[in-house]
Chains A and B, each alone.
Chain A
Amino acid sequence: MIEARDLCKHFHDKKRGLIRAVDHVSFTCQPGRIYGLLGANGAGKTTTLRMLATILEPTSGDAIVAGHDVIEHPERVRAAVGFLSTATALYPRLTAQEMVEYFGRLCGLDESTLKLRVDDLFARLEMDSYRDRRCDKLSTGMKQKVSIARTLVHDPPVMIFDEPTLGLDVMAARSIVSFIRECRDRGKTVIFSTHVMSEVEKLCDSIGIIHDGKLLAEGSLADLRARYAETDLEEIFVRIVAPLAPAEASS
């Protein structure tokens, strides 16, 4: 489970002064469900997810991930999380297998468990044909699968996806979407950020709409449709964020 409580993250910029990238954000994600964080670019999605993955430290507020406090025990949190984004690249001079094994070892797996996990993942994701190929020689789709195997090698109960389909072609994006669904079916807590409405409609059990660092609306797709008397998610999104950013919404 993920429980974000009043999370805030402030940055100081020489030109713009104090930036409230995340401003008192609270939400809960349940195991076996997918929580979609929907927002435009710069809304605060990545910063929120990075705080949950303990890559960034909150300025204030707190979060509990898989029973561990992100501030008190960041290493325990990371051991319980699989984090995937388009920014998390692969080491070019390692082979696909070495890449997955490396992260398995960093997650504290012993050698026998690691071997079993790696063999199972490579078989499930149909990666055996290129397990000894260097990552810089892999296609985008192959790289995506290696990244998935890397996030799953320690079998984490919580999965965090930060715009995982950004820049991918249709086929690669579809495999990511089906992988996210599979994670939910296996009972994992899944949080997923995107600005693609169709992905949210297809995948998410709960949706949080974030804009300018603030969580403006939250609920299931059905809840949001009923609350705003509108079936089109894009329209709902625009109505929620428009009063705050008319120029952005109209564009």
Chain B
Amino acid sequence: MSARNALCIYRKELTEWLRDRRTLISTVVVPLLLFPLLTAGFAGVAGSLLEKAKTGAIRVMVLGGADSPAVLDELRQLKDFEIVPAAENWKEQISSKNLRAAVALPDNFQTSLATGESAEVKIYFHQGDLKSSLDANRIEKSLKEYRDRIVRDRIAARHLPDSLLRPFAVKQENVAPAEKVSGAALGGLIGYMVLLLCMTGGMYPAIDLTAGEKERGTMETLLTSPVSRLHIVLGKFFLVLTASLTTAALSVASMGVSFLLVGRNAAALHTAQSADAQALQLHVSLASAAAIFLLVLPTAVFFSAAMLAIALVARTTKEAQSYLMPMTFLVIIPAVAALLPGIELTPRLAVIPVLSTSLLIKEIISGTYHWNYIALIFASTCLYASAAMFLAVKMFQRESVLFRS
């Protein structure tokens, strides 16, 4: 009878929830569309801008060089270089973004090159302007290639081996598996999103089912039924939990698919930069997903019960929103803290709700399972969840809360 009552209330709340257009938009439509649009849109726009900046012709002004015609000829032949006539106001042109960069050749540069004297070529650019910085880098690269060619010619003229210049090569190579690379890059973000959405997904139902019912006058109707207050809380709590987990699950699934597609596109487009593209791809195994779900479950229980208890104190939905808003910050701050580099799990951090779960999710996505921490965090979060649940039940039994006027 008792379980039947809680189930009956849950089913009714679910029916009303699914019929609420605002709920469907915030819980289903927004999470499903937001991430694909955000990632595809952002990646697409950023990609095309970068592509354009990297491949277009470089308009470069050469300052000086009247005494070095051979060098100027060499510069004109460099790939993608479009030399524009020197102007006195070149600094202004760069500052106002009319010109991206200028190259200043020293006096008698051609003679210096012929005699083997050292000289300095300066590249002027607009720091902080992405296009100007990219062009300055490309100019530097081209000039270095030109310099290397001169060096190679000099070595060849003296019949010396190439290895004289490069006694050894240095190369960085990643040995970490792909899931650890992507975990480090995206694990913190996933944990942050899961926890934040767990809370925001349950917030509206928690308000609607408590302060909303008081405001509409249906709370008293429900209290006239022979159902115990405990079963009323349970029925309502399970709906808030459902909303919370649904939002988080849909958002994460949508985010995962978005990253996967963007990562694949990036890999297909830039095979040379496949390492970067790989970092965008999530490698979350089923075991990791199950472990994350198990960890998130008590956190979602904690959020749902706490939000129910807090929102019940309010007389109106507006009042409930103002009570729950600070709770958003209490979740965002520790969740963001887990994103910071260098913050690792310690026994002390493992008992801080939200932060500990967020850090652990990051570890799990990277493929690292600290079983002692998993047990400690699961147990401590269960404890917080039980306390929040106890508080919610107590609140529902307090007349001063239910009939606050």
A interface residues, Cβ below 8 angstroms from B? 11, 53, 55-57, 75-76, 78-79, 81, 83, 85, 87-94, 98, 102-103, 105-108, 150
Contact = CB atoms under 8 A, between A and B. Distances in A.
Nearest to A73: B226
A23 B361 CA distance: 58
A89 B216 contact: yes
Contacts of A88: 217-218, 220-221, 224
A94 B16 contact: yes
B217 A89 contact: yes
Contacts of A108: 1, 226
Nearest to B403: A56
Contacts of B224: 53, 55, 78, 81, 83, 88
B241 to A, nearest CB: 20
Nearest to B20: A93
Contacts of B226: 75-76, 78-79, 106-108
A88 to B, nearest CB: 4
B12 interface: yes
Nearest to A162: B220
Minimum-distance CB pairs A-B, first 9? A89-B217, A79-B226, A83-B224, A78-B226, A106-B225, A88-B221, A93-B16, A93-B19, A75-B226
Given A78-B224, A89-B221, A94 B15 contact: yes
B5 A106 contact: yes
Interface string B373-405: 000000000000000000000000001100100
Interface in B216-234: 216-218, 220-221, 223-228
A93 B16 CA distance: 6
A106 B8 contact: yes
Contact of A91 (B12, B220, B400): B12
A249 B221 CA distance: 33
Of listed B15, B16, B217, B226, residue having the most chain A CB within 10 A: B226
A150 to B, nearest CB: 7
Contacts of A11: 400
Given A56-B399, A76-B226, A94 B12 contact: yes
Contact of A87 (B1, B20, B220): B220
A5 to B, nearest CB: 20
A102 B12 contact: yes
B8 A105 contact: yes
B399 A57 contact: yes
B206 to A, nearest CB: 17
B216 A92 contact: yes
A102 B8 contact: yes
Nearest to A147: B221
Contacts of B223: 55
19 contacts: A11-B400, A57-B399, A75-B228, A76-B226, A78-B225, A78-B226, A85-B220, A87-B217, A88-B224, A89-B217, A89-B221, A91-B16, A98-B12, A98-B15, A102-B8, A102-B12, A106-B9, A106-B227, A108-B1
Interface in B14-43: 15-16, 19-20
Nearest to B221: A88
Given A83-B224, A88-B221, A89-B218, 6 more contacts: A53-B224, A55-B224, A56-B403, A90-B221, A93-B16, A106-B225
Nearest to B16: A93
A56 B229 CA distance: 12
Contacts of B225: 78, 103, 106-107
Nearest to B397: A57
A78 B362 CA distance: 51
A147 to B, nearest CB: 8
A56 B398 CA distance: 9
A67 B235 CA distance: 29
B2 to A, nearest CB: 10
B15 A93 contact: yes
A209 to B, nearest CB: 25
B10 to A, nearest CB: 12
A90 B226 CA distance: 17
Contact of B221 (A56, A57, A79, A150): A150
A110 B138 CA distance: 79
A38 B4 CA distance: 39
A105 B217 CA distance: 20
A105 B184 CA distance: 52
